[in-house]
Structure 1
């Protein structure tokens, strides 16, 4: 009995079907997994970026002895301290053409100098004002700031039942706005934005403590630190 063999046409048809099914499965895999365009983590959707921003201090002029009040002198000292720590470039000073502004500018310069801002780092210019009520000396400098490059509260897809977020409902995917407020708060609270770009250099070791540990280790003693607990009191706030 001669075994049944499929014709050449049938074999070609089967090969074409197998190839087509393979392409279809591969395309599905690429669309849903490999080429998925949706950012899967909140760091990708809401990255913290570093950019140059402006630090400003507006000083209404015409009050206090010498053209400045004590509150304004304190504000200028705090402004100068922040410039010494975070400033990038000189301090700009916009002086109004009003008489009170011209009278206050030397006092502002002297206060800045006393707070550690060299006179060579102060750049000033005049600007016209409409009246005495708008006479404000404006101080400013460029500083590095960290922020999220877009506002939070964006909802591009409907989260309600039957809405447009099909993949979010079927794949337990994070919705777009998830994590935005956390990233924005972290960017606003960080003391030095450069810490987000790279770690700081390691501080030197405490030489005295290191010598103590080495000596105890050499003598076979316990190198841990003993803390006294006798004077410790537990707060009774909230009840017992």
Structure 2
């Protein structure tokens, strides 16, 4: 144990000298005061050292990453990302030289294709006809009938484009196709370490997976998950029309009376 520097001037030997009681009491009080002052100075230095250590720990903590593994991701979307990919949806329309026009079954299939295109389709609808065969005229006629059917079901001709392909011995069909987006989430059912994570109040690998699966399955247009749609500017005249109609004298009704009679038709007292 370190000794205070005043021991060189005041020691226990000085207390043993044959002096009076008052002098000896003064010496004891002086020794006690010096001891108290020494330990106060020492505790102040210890407090300063502790504050410096705490500041160093806080600075080190600021440089620590938010998570250090896949099971400690910051959000559920990081742990179970949803991938959005393009997919080509197509319909093959058989070429029948003996028939004139499309059959009812083919028209029903085209109608279903148009419904799917309006829901999730992006870009134009492509009508691809085979070339380099002996039935090029029949293929061109079938492609024209398909374009006419698409227009009858509500698709503008400007949204329909044509193309061709070399049949090369394959069955000769007219292919109607468009591009759509598909959302896919990570697979669920990973229960490894779930019990330990729950006991420690930490996220486990399967946490939030069902929610992400439902979002990927229920979203109307998966492309919105990758890129939001642009909104049209607000029409002020359309927004003001309901307000003007509500303020017109013709639509004002005298709503006075008891609570249970408001809104009812007036009853003729006669």
What TM-score comes out, normalization by structure 1 length? 0.61
* Counterpart for residue 117 of structure 2: 83
Q: Shift of residue 71 of structure 1?
A: 1.9
Residue 158 to residue 52, structure 1, CA distance change in 2 (3 Å): closer
* Counterpart for residue 3 of structure 1: 34
Alignment coverage as a number of residue pairs: 213
Task: Establish whether residue 108 from structure 1 lines up as the match of residue 146 from structure 2.
Answer: yes
Q: CA RMSD in A?
A: 4.6
* Counterpart for residue 25 of structure 2: none
Which of residues 183, 200, 208 in structure 2 aligns to 1:171? 200
Structure of larger gyration radius: 2
In 1, the alpha carbon distance for the partners of 2:251 and 2:224 equals 31
Q: Shift of residue 67 of structure 1?
A: 6.1
Which segment drifts farther, 213-222 or 122-131?
A: 213-222
* Counterpart for residue 126 of structure 1: 164
In 1, the alpha carbon distance for the partners of 2:41 and 2:103 equals 100
For each residue in 1:183-217, what CA deviation from the matched residue of structure 2 results, as whole angstroms up to 9, or x when unmatched? 23333323355887589999997x89xx9996362
Residue 61 to residue 110, structure 1, CA distance change in 2 (3 Å): same
For each residue in 1:155-175, what CA deviation from the matched residue of structure 2 results, as whole angstroms up to 9, or x when unmatched? 5x94267xxxx7x35532232
More helix by share: 2
Residue 187 to residue 177, structure 1, CA distance change in 2 (3 Å): same
Which of residues 168, 172, 183 in structure 2 aligns to 1:147? 183
Which segment drifts farther, 117-126 or 98-107?
A: 98-107
Contact 1:146 1:188 survives alignment (8 Å)? no
Q: Shift of residue 111 of structure 1?
A: 0.9
Unaligned runs of 5+ in 2: 1-29, 265-270
Counterparts of 1:165-204 in structure 2, within 5 Å, are: 168-169=197-198, 171-192=200-221
Unaligned runs of 5+ in 1: 226-240
* Counterpart for residue 16 of structure 1: 49
In 2, the alpha carbon distance for the partners of 1:151 and 1:138 equals 33
In 1, the alpha carbon distance for the partners of 2:42 and 2:94 equals 96
In 2, the alpha carbon distance for the partners of 1:118 and 1:70 equals 22
Q: Shift of residue 220 of structure 1?
A: 4.6
What TM-score comes out, normalization by structure 2 length? 0.56
* Counterpart for residue 138 of structure 1: 175
Contact 2:127 2:147 survives alignment (8 Å)? no
Contact 1:39 1:45 survives alignment (8 Å)? yes
In 2, the alpha carbon distance for the partners of 1:29 and 1:171 equals 23
In 2, the alpha carbon distance for the partners of 1:66 and 1:73 equals 13
Which of residues 77, 91, 97 in structure 2 aligns to 1:58? 91
* Counterpart for residue 237 of structure 1: none
Equivalent residue of 1:109, what SS? Answer: helix
In 1, the alpha carbon distance for the partners of 2:92 and 2:102 equals 9
